[in-house]
Amino acid sequence: MLRSPLTRMRGAEPSLKLSCKLSNFLCAAALLCASAPVTATPNTFGSVIGQGLLCLSELDAGYFYNYLTQSFGPPYKHEGNAYWFRVQGALWGAPISEILVSDADSPQRFLAAVADVAPEVLVGKITDTLHIRFTPTTQYVNPVRVSQAGSKIIYYNRKSKIYCAIARALSPG
């Protein structure tokens, strides 16, 4: 006659029962962790990424790459001299879906983010939250908007892209 593991365990020593219950708990916990989303947005996301996008901190692509890899996992693609990270976060009340970090071959060091709102909405949210103004550079329908620190906001399809870019220093010789 076949017996279930629970039936066989009824007569076992208490320590064996405890270890089996513990191992079942650990297995269940491991399965829950494996099926959970990659990671939650870290508490430092706004200060680290937000300050970088607004050109208010040093642009160190290696630092941002490591921060994003530790927080969200590896980039999902490497294209256009940038590492692309998928994120589920918000900055200044605007949902952010992607972060881009320049690679070593890029002629500029940059950090960029795709916000799931139009540029006008993103500018309004940043202005309301931080009192930082973005000035349109032209009178065209879709102008580039520039902050005093040099951050730019542009249309990206129906969304917006905010970025800070600095030319790499020319090496001597």
Residues 41-79 pLDDT 10s: 888 898 999 999 999 999 999 999 999 999 999 999 999
Q: Give the predicted TM-score (pTM) of the model.
A: 0.74
Cα 5 to Cα 10, 13, 29, 53, 159, distances in angstroms: 9, 14, 20, 57, 56
Q: Whole-number mean pLDDT of the chain?
A: 81
What is the average per-residue pLDDT within 151-155? Answer: 96
pLDDT at position 11 is 54
- C-alpha angle 72/73/77, rounded to 5°? 105
Q: How far apart are CA 132 and CA 129, in angstroms?
A: 8
What's residue 142's pLDDT? Answer: 84
Between residues 27 and 167, the one the model is more confident about: 167
Looking at residue 31, its pLDDT comes to: 37
User: Is residue 34 scored above 90 in pLDDT?
Assistant: no
Sheet holding 134-136, edge to edge: 77-79, 82-91, 94-102, 108-115, 159-167, 152-156, 145-147, 134-136
